Amino acid sequence: MSFDRKIKIAPSILSADFANFGQEIQAIEAQGADWVHVDVMDGHFVPNLTFGPQAVKAFRPHVKTVMDVHLMISPVDAYIDAYADAGADVLTAHIEAGPHIHRTLQAIRAAGMKAGVALNPGTPAEAVAHLLDLTDLICVMTVNPGFGGQKFIDMTGKVRRLRQMIGDRPIHIEIDGGVDPKTAPLVVEAGADVLVAGSAVFKGGSVSNPEVYGENIRGIRAAAEGRWV
């Protein structure tokens, strides 16, 4: 995964048909998804339980773009190698998930993946100030993590501050939560370039009617690019 600061749409398969993940992944990629976002939740760090390493490994053969794995789990370090083996291209850990995020990011890179760090809504931008040279992606949560379909929380001030702090470093700013054609332009104008969207991509479509996914992806992209600077 080379650094390319164009707007990327990363559909979250948490909103896909759980009985049909392989075809769902193929459908969203065929319809214009740039990355595939996989939300891993442990029922401990967040109040929901989703995919483990074996599920992520099963998704991998279907993903031809970038598999963006977002760990909403605690602890993280014990599972880094398992997600590397599962084929994650980007592995993101929450700064709030443990006491040694610097070590966690080092370990993610050492395992051959791009390292992401996620910030919950209540965590300030300054929390990553000493992590920037170990980080390939900063995920700004615009909902409290744990469930899809939540209402967007405005974090544009945080995004602007992060973009300022990043300077010319090759670091993506990803937005996760409540992204749709209305909210996408706000965060892109502030400096974000990767947009995770779940229900806004999958609503109304299916593997038998994938064109709707394409319409939804194009709608988010067009709205975002209208404010791209």
Please give the mean pLDDT across all residues of the chain: 95
Residue 228 binned pLDDT confidence (cut-offs 50, 70, 90): low
* pLDDT one-digit tens code per residue, 186-210: 999 999 999 999 999 999 999 999 9
Q: What's the whole-number mean pLDDT along residues 166-187?
A: 97
Other CB atoms within 10 A of residue 219 CB: 16
- pLDDT at 149 > cutoff 60: yes
Residue 227 binned pLDDT confidence (cut-offs 50, 70, 90): low
Which positions are annotated as active-site residues? 39, 176
- pLDDT at 36 > cutoff 80: yes
* 49 to 40, 72, 150, 180, 228: CA distances (angstroms): 8, 10, 17, 24, 35
By C-alpha distance, which of 61, 58, 71, 2 is closest to 34?
Answer: 2
CA distance 110 to 113: 7
% of the chain with per-residue pLDDT over 70: 98
pLDDT at 27: 98
- pLDDT at 123 > cutoff 70: yes
By C-alpha distance, which of 111, 140, 142 is closest to 128?
Answer: 140
pLDDT at 147: 73
The structure's pTM equals: 0.96
Q: What's the whole-number mean pLDDT along residues 120-147?
A: 96
pLDDT at 229: 46
